Amino acid sequence: MKTEMDFEDLMEEAYGLPNGTAKLGMLEEAARVADVNGMEEEAYEARSEIVETATFCGYPMKALIAFSWQLGKFDQQPERYDEETLMWSYKWILGELSSFPEVSRDKMMELLEDFGRRFKSFGYSERSYWYYRFRISMDLGDLEEAGSSYTKFRNMDRDFMSDCEACEQDEIMRYWILVGDDEKVLEAAKPILKGRMSCAEIPHLTLSEILMPLYRLGKIDEADKHQAKGYRMIKGHNDFVQSFAEQMDYLARTNPAKGIDVLEESLVLAMDHEDPFAKMMFYARAAQLLRRWADESPGYRLRLPASFPYEGDPGDLRKLADYFAAHAKSAADKYDQRNGNQHVSSMLSEV
């Protein structure tokens, strides 16, 4: 019986699967088997895989839980485990942390310091610390603080623990988006769009982020090109829920029919996503899109996933839009309260 598989079998089967909930389930099962049988190193190994898989398929909470366990074990017996892999995971955790409104500002700063202290103690470059300070400040809406961290991290040496150039460049671009300087956004995007910088997630993310800035600058042809290419790259992957939101934001203005396709194709991915921020953005943009679409094509019945918890009539697009908007707004309130500003709700001002 498969439910009685042992640790090695489970890990092997998990390694054979593509990233996704099935793989994650298999890894969790492996961690459980290891826990029950007191196999600590195996439990640690399974959790390393959980952190990575969960981070890249929409389960940041599971990643955080597994990482917390690992860090505790590591601190008890640092000689037993590899610190590079663990510290690399720490960066993923920091990158996701702000998505949970329950985690307070102070706690985030404490974690950032803990991260910085650990990086320093292993002799890694301080660039990573400042870079994550830059990112977290952006998440919290402290653009001034973000700006000064930006200046700082850029001048520091990169090392093997630094994020790749493409990822850094994408974050720099995000900074200019938040600041509202579309010309600078384009400038920052250039090396990515020209293909000079890329990685597993870039330009996937960039091609959606760039759409609204291009739209505002009136460069619709270019934006359309990036939209088509970008969507092709991310379609069906639940790692890109926020990108679907950006796609809908743009398409609501230029081609709502295509936007509806994006919504129908990716709603099931957004629903099941554990990152409340990405989900909020998706719901907010879905609401916006539905309102435009209701004007253009009244009576259209939106194809909702079977498990979507909406009781109303899927043909009443305005009601449905309200439903999405309500979700997004209540999430935004939580972020505003945590951040102590209107940063997040202002991103949804049109909803």
Partner 1 sequence: MTASNEYRFQVNLSGMIQILSNHLYSSPKVFLRELMQNATDAITARTEAEPGFQGEVRVELTGTGEHRTMMVEDNGIGLTEADIHEFLAMIGQSSKRGQQALLDGETSFIGRFGIGLLSCFMVSHEIVMLTQSAKGGPSMEWRGKPDGTYTIRQLETQLSPGTKVYLRCTPDAAHYFETEYVQEALFYYGALLPYPVILHSDDVQHIVNSESPIWLMEPELACGRRAEVFSFGERLLGEKFQDFIPLTTASGRTGGIAFVLPHAVNLNAKRSHRVYLKRMLISEKAENILPEWAFFVKCLIWTDELQPTASREHFYENEKLEDVRFELGDALRRGLADMAESQTERLQKLIRLHALSMKALAVQDQEFYAMIHRWLPFESTRGHRELGELISEGETLYFTTTVDEYRQIHHVASAQSMLVINGGYIYDSDLMAMLPLAVRNVQTERLQPDEVSMSFTDVPPAERNQYYDALRLADSALQRFRCRAEVKGFKPADLPVLFTLSQESSTLRALEKASEESTELFSSVLGSLSSGISSAGYSTLYLNISNPIIQRVLTSPDAQMTPIAIEMLYVNALMMGHYAMNRQELEVLNQGIVRFIDWGLRANTDRKGDA
CB of residue 340 to partner 1, shortest distance in Å = 16
The least distance separating partner 1 from the CB of residue 35, rounded to whole angstroms, comes to: 4
Q: At what angle do helices 165-179 and 143-154 cross, to 10 degrees?
A: 150
**Closest distance of CB 219 from partner 1, Å:** 22
**Distance, C-alpha 339 to centroid of its chain:** 18
Q: Three-state SS for 349?
A: coil
CA distance to 61, 131, 282, 327, per residue, from 264 (Å): 26, 36, 12, 18
Find the shortest distance in angstroms from Cβ 207 to partner 1: 15
CB atoms within 10 A of CB 218: 9
Considering the complex, state which of residue 34 and residue 173 has its C-beta at the smaller distance from partner 1.
Answer: 34
Which CB, 79 or 306, lies closer to partner 1? Answer: 306
How would you classify residue 298: left for phi > 0, otherwise alpha for psi between -120 and 50, otherwise beta? beta
Measured CA to CA, the distance from residue 213 to residue 226 in angstroms comes to: 12
CA distance 30 to 17: 14
Shortest Å distance, C-beta 99 to partner 1: 11
How far apart are the C-alpha atoms of 61 and 4, rounded to whole Å? Answer: 27
* Shorter beta-carbon distance to partner 1: residue 44 or 176: 44
Residue placing its CB nearer to partner 1 in the complex, 47 or 135: 47
- Closer to partner 1 by CB, 15 or 122: give it: 15
Tokens encoding 233: 């790259």
Report the interface residues with partner 1, using CB under 8 A.
Answer: 2-3, 15-18, 20-23, 25-26, 28-29, 32-33, 35-36, 61-62, 64-69, 71-73, 75, 97, 100-104, 107, 110-111, 114, 232, 306-307
Would you say 267 and 308 are in contact if contact means Cβ atoms under 8 Å apart?
A: yes
Residue closer to partner 1, measured from CB, 102 or 221: 102
| Shortest distance, position 64 Cβ to partner 1, whole Å | 7
